[in-house]
Amino acid sequence: MVTIDAILLGGGLGSRFAETSQGLSSDLPKQFQLLGGIPVFIHCLQAYLDMGIFRQVVITSPRPYIQIAEGQIEKYLRNRNLTKIRVIAGGARRQDSSRLALQALEELQPSPTRVLIHDACRPYISDELATQIKLCLFDRAYGAWVPAIPVVDTLKRIKDHQVVETVDRSLVHRVQTPQIFEFSLIRSLMDRIKDLTELNFTDDASLCEYYGIPVGVFKGDVRNIKLTYDFELETLQGVLAEAKRVKVCAPESATTFIV
């Protein structure tokens, strides 16, 4: 039996977002900002609950905001099974938050077989991406899977404010989350680097690469935008509005938020 759990990483304070968000009415970290009247992290949490395959979802939050996160969950998802959702304090670095969330999942019996790790600030999960996610969660050909999309901009390597060379963009891709892992694998690797303060990984799959573990790739989605700057709230609002307009679904499968 394959037991699958999920992690939403929302432990950061979003310094880049805060620097550009003077016009917002709230100074909350970006994961708690309202997008279409719904907190950003609630959008992706709802998407994963709708998949119906996760035993538990652990959300990391900055410690001072745990009660806010729990309150938003109770407000917007009170018609859902909230025992499937747990909020914990995140760590100083991304990898610290991931390790703490993995430890929290390990408290359950049995430990999960596979685990999905997603940025709480990537609120839009399309049906097409959800299908890819499900396939890779059950495909254990790789110990890790990541979604990737081609690079469309010209890439140049720059040193000391000067262009050194143009990089062949066909050789590189942009990698997103969610990323999918064999639980025992990513759990052991996180423990291995726990005290190596000189290592700082910007995504969890980089840890697998660091130890020479192959990482599989599946098709990502350009609409799977990570909220980094305040203007992206408007972009994401457009994405969600368009998705709602074109989506045709049966009434019983419709997503309902309580506001």
Assess if residue 162 is contained within a domain: no
Q: What is the pLDDT of residue 26?
A: 64
Assess if residue 132 is contained within a domain: yes
Q: What are the φ and ψ backbone dihedral angles of 195, each rounded to 5 degrees?
A: -105, 10
Assess if residue 170 is contained within a domain: no
Q: What is the pLDDT of residue 245?
A: 85
Comparing 23-37, 73-87, 136-150, 206-220, the range with the smallest average pLDDT is 23-37
Q: What is the mean pLDDT of the chain?
A: 91
The CATH number of the domain holding residue 45 is 3.90.550.10
Q: What is the pLDDT of residue 24?
A: 56
Query: ∠ at Cα 5 (235, 97), nearest 5°?
Result: 65
Nearest-angstrom CA–CA distance, 147 and 180 = 9
Closest CA to 173 of 143, 195, 146, 192: 146
Residue 249, pLDDT > 90, answer no
Assess if residue 158 is contained within a domain: no
Residue appearing with tokens 């203007």 = 231
Residue 219, pLDDT > 90, answer yes
Residue 149, pLDDT > 90, answer yes
Q: Could you give the dihedral angle defined by the CA atoms of residues 90, 175, 56 and 207, in that order, rounded to the nearest 10 degrees? A: -60
Assess if residue 188 is contained within a domain: yes
Assess if residue 91 is contained within a domain: yes
Contact at 8 Å (CB) between 30 and 40? yes
Q: What is the pLDDT of residue 187?
A: 97
pTM: 0.90
Assess if residue 187 is contained within a domain: yes
Name the 3-class secondary structure at 99. Answer: helix
Q: What residues make up the domain containing 144?
A: 4-148+175-253
| Higher pLDDT pick, 192 / 251 | 192
Identity of residue 146: V
How many domains would you assign to the chain?
1
pLDDT in tens, 4-50: 999 999 987 755 555 555 555 567 999 999 999 999 999 999 999 99
pLDDT band at 54 (very low <50, low <70, confident <90, very high): very high
pLDDT band at 217 (very low <50, low <70, confident <90, very high): very high
Please report how the helices 40-51 and 66-76 are oriented relative to each other, as an axis angle in degrees rounded to 10: 60
pLDDT in tens, 151-183: 999 999 999 999 999 999 999 999 999 999 999
